[in-house]
Amino acid sequence: MADIKVNTNKKAPTQSKTDADKQGNRKPKPKVKVGSKRQSMLNTQKLAPFKYDMNEVLSASSMDPAKTSAFLASVIAKGSRVSTREAKDYAKTFLDSGDLTKEEFDKVSRLMDKYSKYR
């Protein structure tokens, strides 16, 4: 019989660019950045003076000393991560419950405005 010679060194045929594009090998489209509105937040670089001033206001307030540290920590967390508006709403709940007076709430709000920036 005749010897059949098999060529094992053949390379697979290359694909054209259009075939490669159809298979999903093209570059992904850049994502469009969706911006959010800037909002007032506590300036994290001025937290030490903010804490000092808040402690002065809270030590002179009628709030229970056991609640003051938790109140201050929550105000700082909400003000620096969410917005100062959320922190003021949180402080307003203490005004409504009677832990803060109107004057003390106004001082706390002014301090938040003083130590905030838009980001």
For residue 11, being part of any structural domain is answered with: no
65 is in which domain, residue-wise?
Answer: 38-118
| pTM for the predicted model, two decimal places | 0.69
> Taking 70 as the threshold, does the pLDDT of residue 87 lie above it?
yes
The count of structural domains within the chain is: 1
Residue 92 has phi, psi (to 5 degrees) of -65, -30
Round to whole Å and give the CA distance between 42 and 118. Answer: 8
| pLDDT at position 18 | 59
| pLDDT at position 113 | 96
For residue 85, being part of any structural domain is answered with: yes
| pLDDT at position 116 | 96
What Rg do the C-alpha atoms of the chain give, in angstroms? 32
For residue 26, being part of any structural domain is answered with: no
What is the pLDDT averaged over residues 5-14? 62
